[in-house]
A and B are shown apart, each in its own frame.
Chain A
Amino acid sequence: MKNNVILLVEDNASAAALTRRAFEKSKISNELVVIEDGKTALEYLQCTGTYSGRDKNDQPVIVLLDIKLPLIDGHTVLKTIREDPMLHRLPVVMLTSSNEESDIAKSYDQGVNGFIRKPIDSVRFEEAISAFSLYWLLINEPPPIVK
């Protein structure tokens, strides 16, 4: 099944598990792929390294990207995606603890499609994930695949 993967780039396993739980609770059937660092995330998207055998046309429907990441940080991952002719239209949303103005500004400058600051209150977090899923998986029209 193509085009229904949600890619979550998050280095904290506990946080990733909670996000997965929130998606499950909002009845989202899309597969959630969790990658723990920026370098592997780029390998996944560009189908290189560990993921060299992956189909390049089978890209996630959306990428949820943390900013603070091991090896390559979220800003660099975003920048690489936007510079890659195969990936540049890929919807990317930042999902992070930071609400630093500089982080938000930098993300939008680099062409991010959304910015979500994770609230500490889990109920509100689940609401946010639910609203996010509704918009990006159901309402939003995905970009055409680059050929």
Chain B
Amino acid sequence: MKINIRIKPDKFFSFFSISATAIALTALLGHLTGWTILASIRSKYTPMPIIPAIKFSILGIIIYSFKKISSTKWSYIIFGFLIAVIILGCIVLLDTMINIVPDNIESPYIAVFFIFFSLSIFLKLILREKVSINNLLIIIGILLAYFGFTIILAYFIGAPLMYKYKMLPVAINGGVCVVLLSLALIGICNKDATILGNFVGDSPNAKIQRRIVPLIFFATLFGSLLFIFSSQIKNVSYAIIVAGEIAVISLISIIVVHRSTETIFCEATKTYEVNKENNLKIIELNNSLEKKICDRTTQLTALNNELLAFSYSVSHDLRSPLRGIDGWSLALYEDYSSKLDSKGTGYIETIRKETQRMGSLIDDLIKLSHLTQVDLKISTVDLSKLALTIAERLKGIIPGRKLDIIIEPGLTVTGDPGLLEIVLNNLFENSYKFTGPRENAIIEFGIDKRKEGKVFYIKDNGVGFDMVYADKMFGAFQRMHKHSEFPGTGIGLATVRRIFNRLEGHVWAESEVDKGTTIYFSMK
């Protein structure tokens, strides 16, 4: 007795709802054709009245096509229908309570079912995927299914349920519809619920439950039926019947337990084996991961060392021939300038200038590569103080130059003092350089209060640049101006960006040609 819900749960539950509709429609057909056996199944049974038959068939269709219609304009019609069903159910109940006309609309028991069932679909329509609601609806579904099951059982036992108290009894096909629709309700809620998690799926827990629960159910059912049928036989004492029942139930229970322990043991062993295998796999994975990390670290260290060796080599070996070029150019100039005209000596000068430039490039490149190697020393840095020192130095370069450097006092930040000094030096030197053509050069350093967090800026009234090239300016060797106008290696802002990358900060620029440039930076 293995319910394999795993395979096609949707179709499984759809089958329930469509069966309910089919049963109800058959009953309706019975009423319409006058062939009432279709509504009552057996002539001595209560037939299913017209109204519940209509409700069952429509509810069956709603559940069957719940996914498709719940999100369309149809949902309003469904709401309307559900409300009508609930109201009708309440009227029937009220009618039964005040005992006015116990007529044949529908049984009060089935009215209770319709109220609960419609409310459930109502909730499902409104709250869809909410786990707690779906859990609740599944519990309601199970209770309703048991209710229907009780009705069917009562027919089997031979005493159509609830004939007493002048109330209309529930038809047997009504009971079947109740069971089917309740199971279908569980079906549409199951996907978004957790409550059946222990009963469906592939887990050992679910497998064991699926094996035991139905067996217990049928054991008790069989035992009870036996009890009832034997009690109808005359001349058999209750003592014998009860003894027989105990014997049968206990026998079936023993078989159930026997069979189940086998399953439990089997599943437990399987679980143990799977766990063991998984553990071994995890250990294996861990080991291989550790080895990988180890390998990568070795590779990285080797790569880093190679990089260090490379930058050392660049600083040492590339400079040496440059010095040769410069030295011999100077020697040529000194020893043979008498044999050269002014053009020739001019060439020599150019060679020497270019050599110097190459030297500066190499030096800056080395500095840039060093930035990624130094260890960070984080502390509170007084940027205003740093800026003041730089300003003093810049003002001293050309004493006669009109240069205003305005520095907001008390600007502090958390970062590496050495690196931040390089940043400010580069930014101030840039502003100094690009305000060169201005008669009244102004450089401002402060904090931008319009922006969120601590955003610092260095603003100048220099020559500026076209913002089209803004993304280029922080790249290495990128220059925004001709070398003859503004000399430089184009590495200053690349250095600044690299420092902010290391300090987890951010730097950007705003500029306008002939108006000036503002460089902003912020720290995390």
Contacts and interface: CB of A to CB of B under 8 A. Distances in A.
Contact of B316 (A14, A98, A123): A98
Given A68-B316, A98-B316, A100-B315, A120 B355 contact: yes
Interface stretch (B119-127, B154-162, B318-326, B390-398): B318-326
B314 to A, nearest CB: 10
Interface residues of A, number: 19
Contacts of A18: 323-324, 327-328, 331
Given A18-B324, A18-B327, A99 B315 contact: yes
B297 interface: no
A15 B320 contact: yes
B362 to A, nearest CB: 9
Interface in B315-373: 315-317, 319-320, 322-324, 326-331, 352, 355-356, 358-359
Contacts of B331: 18, 21
A10 to B, nearest CB: 10
A122 interface: yes
Q: Quick one: which of B312, B327, B358, B359 has the most chain A CB within 10 A?
A: B327
A120 B324 CA distance: 8
A3 interface: no
A125 B312 contact: no
B315 A125 contact: no
A100 B326 contact: no
Contacts of B312: 98, 100
Interface string A1-29: 00000000000101100100100000000
Contacts of B319: 97, 118, 120
Given A68-B316, A99-B315, A123 B330 contact: yes
A121 B356 contact: yes
21 contacts: A14-B324, A15-B324, A18-B323, A18-B324, A18-B328, A68-B316, A68-B317, A97-B316, A97-B323, A98-B312, A98-B315, A99-B315, A100-B315, A119-B323, A120-B326, A120-B358, A122-B323, A122-B330, A122-B352, A123-B330, A125-B323
Interface of B: 312, 315-317, 319-320, 322-324, 326-331, 352, 355-356, 358-359
Given A99-B315, A120-B355, A122-B352, 17 more contacts: A14-B324, A15-B320, A15-B323, A18-B331, A21-B331, A68-B316, A68-B317, A98-B315, A98-B316, A118-B319, A119-B323, A120-B326, A120-B359, A121-B352, A122-B323, A125-B323, A125-B327
